[in-house]
Amino acid sequence: MHSKSTSKLLDAAAVILAQDPSATLGEISERAGVGRATLHRHFATRRDLIRALTLDALQRIEVATAEIGTVSEDPQGALRRLTEAIVPLGDRFRFLSSGPLDHDDAEVRVIYDRQTSALTALAEAMKAEALIAPDIPTAWATATIDALIYAAWQAVEDGEIARRDAPAHVFRTLTRGLG
């Protein structure tokens, strides 16, 4: 876990980079209200900061989804719990959409692959229960879940939907469509 000052810097940097993915360390330190030297004590390079943000975001997903339960026994319930756990974390993750994950980083790859496998298992379980049509490719189902979660984060950020309502909108759209 991070120190309190590191966590505060990560929180500020995540918001700043979500708004401006090209922000420099100097811009981040200024907008975060800390000196550049302070930021550099925690993160020597922009790449170090991005890596720390990426790992922090992925680890928060791990913590939030740890209690989802057995997907195969109740895939619809697991999907509801997944959306309820992940959608509220949007402030932290929007910056990830602005750039690809560093798949060459072994630690990032392991966590990302584990989460991708879990989402794939959920989609497969939903297909087995006819909650997703069997002719829908699993990759399309997982991409749709990801996209709707991102859309919820963006809509909350833009003030278009209430944060408390976002998980239910994602769940409903995934299980019943927009009709």
Over residues 79-124, the pLDDT tens digits come to 888 899 888 888 777 766 666 567 688 998 898 888 888 889 889 9
Does residue 1 surpass a pLDDT of 70?
Answer: no
Mean pLDDT, all residues of the chain: 86
Half-sphere exposure of residue 169: CA atoms within 13 angstroms, side-chain side: 19
Averaged pLDDT, 49-61: 88
pLDDT at 159: 93
Assigned fold of 51-176: Tetracycline Repressor; domain 2 (1.10.357)
pLDDT at 105: 85
Please answer whether residues 165 and 158 qualify as being in contact, where contact means their C-beta atoms are separated by less than 8 angstroms: no
CA dihedral 42, 85, 150, 10 (to 10 degrees): -10
Token pair, residue 143, equals: 């991409």
Over residues 134-165, the pLDDT tens digits come to 999 999 999 999 899 989 988 998 899 999 99
SS3 13: helix
